[in-house]
Structure 1
Amino acid sequence: MSIFDLVVIGGGVNGAGIARDAAGRGLKVLLCEKDDFAQHTSSSSSKLIHGGLRYLEYYDFKLVRHALNEREVLLRAAPHIIWPLRFILPHHKALRPRWLIRIGLFLYDNLGGRKLLPASNSVDLTTHLSGAALKKEFKSGFEYSDCWVQDARLVVLNVMDAQARGCDVRVRCECTDIIRDEGQWQVKLQDHLTGKSDTVTARAIVNASGPWVEKTLDLDEEHESRYGVRLVKGSHVVVPKLFDHPYTYIFQNADNRILFAIPYENDFTLLGTTDVEIEGEPGTEVIEQDEIDYICRNASEYFDTPVSPEQVVWTYTGVRPLYDDASENASKVTRDYKLDLDTRTGAPLLSVYGGKITTFRKLAEETVDMLKSPLGFNEGAWTASESLPGGDIPDADFAGFLAQCQDKYAWMDDVVLLDYARNYGTCISVLVGKAGNMQQLGHHFGGPLYQAEVEYLIAHEYARSAADILWRRSKKGLHTPKGTEEILQQWIDQHYDFATTIDQLATVS
């Protein structure tokens, strides 16, 4: 029977970050995820690394400060999948006075050690590039900085780094029971790919199950939890691009929520999000028509050309497992996190409540620090200065890195090259291998998707299905012909046998 210092349950951004941090401190770690990595909450965000400007209204200064500090830490760690954005906030006279917004942006500029990102400023929307797409009544506004992130890729890169540091990674492997046993844990696992079950021993468990955190706790008959979780559904829609410039909009709504309009995948605009509290089992939620109508209606309050539900080409929905702070309004529930460490029987169990993608690294650091005493190790925090796989780009200079790639792979289609550089960073050399022309990238599935990328994602990034490849490791589902997902799945089924271990996968012929 295998013995681990730590078993991390849950392969979202928090679980992946915790596994990476712990493995990097020399602990023997196992990470298990019942579905695909980032399949749920962590691939359903607004794709932003941001301080949370609107949280200032709720006086959540600690959360905003931590998030602002993390923006530039993460930007340096993964400049291929994280990059700066400039946000335009049109001034809506009926909602908030200019002086209040100006004070908020002053705090936003100065709360969090900003060095790489430019400060905020006022803009004249009658002359600014971003003003052309807006209704003429919006004559002035504000401009400030935050960052974009490929959210699902952020999760996978943390998992890859955890594995490189010795973590035992198990995807589509569900924890079915946890049993206290003389100061340790017996953890039962069910592999959904092989059908095999396994039991491992763990000195400690981290429950990073996200929306399922309480369900995982219920596996332990002796558990006592001081905290609860509220499940809030957030939905987004994707439409053909509504403007032809690099700025992102943040719109104020009459209900005190905000709406983002973000340039997305070159040809589209991402709009969201909603806040809908849900009850019952998470994982089956879908966007409702009234959510689509809400997003389009509020976007149309600002854009000169109305946005209609008929324009929507794709939607996604996720559930945020928010720490229950007893707020009456779901939009006002804190996005901060709580860590609950139970050491009553000498078998530590630490449960994670809440959190947001921007603060995942800090959450992971605090989590592993809390386990120092129970597990008896002294190694300190290390992730603040280490890059993620593919992110070891000198001076975080993506433009310079891209220029080098253009020289090295001059034969590659420009769209494909930019896509590879953006998604894989310095790992592009592993993906491309010995290919010297487009034909040597293998079978072309349509759009920018080639066999070489599919093989790379299966071999190195735990992809096991067409959906993993088209909608999480990439967003090529938006750029490939209708029916590609079915064709790709058939190809995978013909060439790979996931009922074996990863080391025994059938070789692509």
Structure 2
Amino acid sequence: MMKRDVEKLTQEEFDLLVVGGGIYGATVAWDAVLRGLKVALIEKRDFAAGTSSNSLKIIHGGLRYLQHADFARMRESIVERRILLKIAPHLVFPMPCIMPTFGHAVKGPEVMRIGLLMNDLFSVDRNRGLDKDHRLPNGALLSKKQLADLIPRVNRDDVNGGALWYDAHMHNSERLLLSFVHSAVEKGAVVANYVKANNLLVKNGRVYGVEARDERTQKTLAINAKLTISTQGPWINELLAEFRDKEKQKIQFSTAINLVLNRQLTREFAFAAPTKAGHKDKDALINTGSRLLFFVPWRGKTLAGTAHKPYYGDAENYRAAEADIQEFLAEVNSALPDEHIKHDEIDHVYAGLLPMAAVDPASGDVTLEKHFRIIDHKKEDNLDGLLSILTVKYTTARGVSKLAVDKAIKILGFGSPFSNSHDIPVWGGNIGHYHKFFADGMNSLDGALTPSNKKHLLATYGSRYNEIVALADEDASLLEPVSSDSDILKAEVIYGVRYEMAQTLSDILMRRTDLGAGCRASAEQIKNVVELMAKELGWSSSRQEQEKQSYRQIYEFAER
């Protein structure tokens, strides 16, 4: 179980220190500890509090890479999608996706037929080792009528049909990340959130760890390691500032904004829709001429994304600007002109920063980095003992992390060269046949729980659901829902505090549970969660008010 013990970070020299607790930090720690390395992982805020929470929750197989003829990247995505369906079957499920077709040129059904066929051929092994509940069918073309029946939102006069294919979808991306952290801890990794790496510890040109600060106590500590890997994303610029030549350009980043719309545009199918804005991908062999937005059903709402703009400020200061939200909402409405989606239908804005390759000087369009980078700073900055990972995709985190650990092991000269992180279920994922697991779980769970409560526990915690239920042995009331309008149990709040390092109200509402992730938590939910946490953590009344205010600020946008 995850228990925060900052002192343990100072009691030994680690083989590998991972700085940054997003999905890449979590998967690096998991892969490395499986190889026999002594691993520490620190995160300046909370796990999944940054860009890793900002996605459309799609685990995609790279169909879009066909237009670039980037078959290697496509295969990488297909393989990693299958692995996540296998090792995290409680959190990752198949999702049907639809692209409307237009005319008979590059957007037409003839070209899409070829694309779907190639996708099926390149992913011929996509279901290997998966149970029937996680297998992905072949793609298919849809008639205009079939498209209208499934996705009436895009039934325009110029649409002549659609293309259907299958990707995967995360039930809860934050819980998936936490499952990797749990897994690493159970294999011996030392992990702590709210520990900020302030400076690299360097001697004779070699990094031997970091000077860090415990953000909860403000205590400074030295964490020693033979090798350090940064998975901080945009915060790498801050860590390197003291050592990097001032003439050397910073790593550049783009904003990434996704909207949570309080409208269920589709119940089952994710779908794409073109905007009216022109768009040219200079690296694509086939250009469609317009930008596509993607709409994903999620928790009775719709995720819409993604908007990108260059960002040249400090990562610490970035917040979604109201002007950018308004501009993106207009783009959403241009893609779905009959919907007339209003600003007050935006329940939440997910915003983060991703590595940027270029900006079109004429249009302002951003080109994201298309390939991951594992940077050896001995070559880049004359800093031995420091690697960093830069990438844009959640889907391939495990695979890229495996390659980063391969590189780390070569540098260290020890540790297993073979990774089996592709084959071992993550925390909660050891469920065998999903249908049987689900039926058995529904039958075995406490009769005091409603069917909806039971489904939620099984889908969120997988094979570890009994750990949450066991808390009721000390207090039966913990099996009660947090609020009258939620399936989330009081026991989940207590579990998050005791065994998942939840330190703040936002940690519980946004990441340990989904009470306040897709929309602002209700007053009843906030009140009850604060009371539970205050009892566990000894919060004063003023601290309770501070926590409430900090959570409310998440839903405030930057003025611009």
Kept in 2: contact 1:229–1:353 (CA 8 A): no
Kept in 1: contact 2:154–2:273 (CA 8 A): no
Q: Which residue of 1 aligns with 2:414?
A: 377
Q: Which residue of 1 aligns with 2:303?
A: 270
Task: Choose from 414, 418, 441 the match for 1:405.
Answer: 441
Match of 1:456, SS?
helix
Task: Choose from 505, 530, 533 the match for 1:489.
Answer: 530
CA distance in 2, matches of 1:326, 1:235: 17
Q: CA-to-partner distance for each residue in 1:381-440, whole Å, 9 max, x for gaps?
A: 110101110011104x2x332221211124312222222111111111101116499844
1:118 aligns with 2:140: no
CA distance in 1, matches of 2:208, 2:272: 47
Q: What one-letter code is carried by the residue in structure 2 that aligns with 1:388?
A: V
Q: Which residue of 1 aligns with 2:226?
A: 203
Q: Which residue of 1 aligns with 2:174?
A: 152
Cα 1:476–1:302 change in 2 (3 A) is same
Q: CA-to-partner distance for each residue in 1:271-315, whole Å, 9 max, x for gaps?
A: 111111111112431143443453454356447543232322222
Kept in 2: contact 1:274–1:295 (CA 8 A): no
Higher alpha-carbon deviation: 399-408 or 380-389:
399-408
CA distance in 2, matches of 1:198, 1:458: 23
Q: What's the TM-score, normalizing by structure 1?
A: 0.88
Q: What one-letter code is carried by the residue in structure 2 that aligns with 1:320?
A: L
Cα 1:15–1:290 change in 2 (3 A) is closer
Shift of 1:96: 2.2
Cα 1:497–1:17 change in 2 (3 A) is farther
Q: Which residue of 2 aligns with 1:502?
A: none
Cα 1:152–1:434 change in 2 (3 A) is closer
Q: What's the TM-score, normalizing by structure 2?
A: 0.81
Kept in 2: contact 1:190–1:197 (CA 8 A): yes
1:339 aligns with 2:360: no
Q: Which residue of 2 aligns with 1:366?
A: 403
Shift of 1:366: 0.3
Q: What one-letter code is carried by the residue in structure 1 that aligns with 2:92?
A: I
CA distance in 2, matches of 1:454, 1:331: 40
Cα 1:218–1:179 change in 2 (3 A) is same
Q: What one-letter code is carried by the residue in structure 2 that aligns with 1:321?
A: P
CA distance in 1, matches of 2:513, 2:422: 26
1:131 aligns with 2:154: no
CA distance in 1, matches of 2:521, 2:410: 51
Match of 2:370, SS?
coil
1:193 aligns with 2:209: no
Q: Which residue of 1 aligns with 2:295?
A: 261
Cα 1:227–1:103 change in 2 (3 A) is farther
Q: What one-letter code is carried by the residue in structure 2 that aligns with 1:381?
A: S
Cα 1:326–1:392 change in 2 (3 A) is same
Q: Which residue of 2 aligns with 1:76?
A: 86
1:431 aligns with 2:443: no
Q: CA-to-partner distance for each residue in 1:440-479, whole Å, 9 max, x for gaps?
A: 4157344223320101112222222221122223322248
Higher alpha-carbon deviation: 293-302 or 49-58:
293-302
Q: Which residue of 1 aligns with 2:20?
A: 10
Q: Which residue of 1 aligns with 2:110?
A: 99
CA distance in 2, matches of 1:260, 1:354: 20
Match of 1:251, SS?
strand
Kept in 1: contact 2:100–2:161 (CA 8 A): yes
Higher alpha-carbon deviation: 414-423 or 366-375:
414-423
Cα 1:341–1:226 change in 2 (3 A) is farther
Kept in 2: contact 1:232–1:330 (CA 8 A): no
Task: Choose from 258, 265, 268 the match for 1:246.
Answer: 268
CA distance in 2, matches of 1:31, 1:214: 19
1:233 aligns with 2:234: no
Q: Which residue of 2 aligns with 1:507?
A: none
Shift of 1:45: 1.1
Shift of 1:235: 1.4
Higher alpha-carbon deviation: 282-291 or 255-264:
282-291
RMSD value, Cα: 2.9
Q: CA-to-partner distance for each residue in 1:241-266, whole Å, 9 max, x for gaps?
A: 3345311112233433321211111x
Q: How many residues align?
A: 494
CA distance in 2, matches of 1:79, 1:226: 44
Kept in 1: contact 2:254–2:368 (CA 8 A): no
Kept in 2: contact 1:448–1:476 (CA 8 A): no
Higher alpha-carbon deviation: 94-103 or 2-11:
94-103
Q: Which residue of 1 aligns with 2:431?
A: 393
Q: Which residue of 2 aligns with 1:215?
A: 238
Match of 2:404, SS?
helix
Higher alpha-carbon deviation: 411-420 or 336-345:
336-345
Report 1:450-469 matches (<5 A): 450-469=489-508
